Amino acid sequence: GAGVSQTPSNKVTEKGKYVELRCDPISGHTALYWYRQSLGQGPEFLIYFQGTGAADDSGLPNDRFFAVRPEGSVSTLKIQRTERGDSAVYLCASSVNPSGSHEQYFGPGTRLTVT
């Protein structure tokens, strides 16, 4: 079956602009996660959803970052007033449920570059 998909694969934007990154999880997976990976680092947790609700958003760096999952499937990560420090690969993952007993399947990521 289809894996996790993310669009766009690459996004270049100017400092101060607004961007949206989209994630389409594996069908039937109720848990959806967003991570951010900077060059040479491991992924860092941002937020996860169980169904439509954000169950844990403790990893969002500040209030410029926001994510939604209105119908419990596709999710959108929104970044306002982008800064050069936001440049990274944004990874989305999904899992059967949010328990640690299930592995997460990752998408290919969106490479965000803020100039």
Partner 1 sequence: AQKVTQAQTEISVVEKEDVTLDCVYETRDTTYYLFWYKQPPSGELVFLIRRNSFDEQNEISGRYSWNFQKSTSSFNFTITASQVVDSAVYFCALSASNTGKLIFGQGTTLQVKP
- Residue written as token pair 């596709």: 74
Nearer to partner 1, 93 or 114 (CB): 93
Nearer to partner 1, 45 or 66 (CB): 45
* Nearest distance in Å: CB 14, partner 1: 24
Beta strands in 1-115 (DSSP E): 5-7, 10-13, 19-24, 31-37, 44-50, 53-56, 65-68, 75-79, 88-95, 105-106, 110-114
Contacts to partner 1 by CB under 8 A: 31, 33, 35, 40-45, 48, 55-56, 59, 89, 91, 93, 95, 97-109
* Nearest distance in Å: CB 16, partner 1: 27
Torsion of CA 32, 69, 63, 99, to 10 degrees: -30
Nearer to partner 1, 82 or 95 (CB): 95
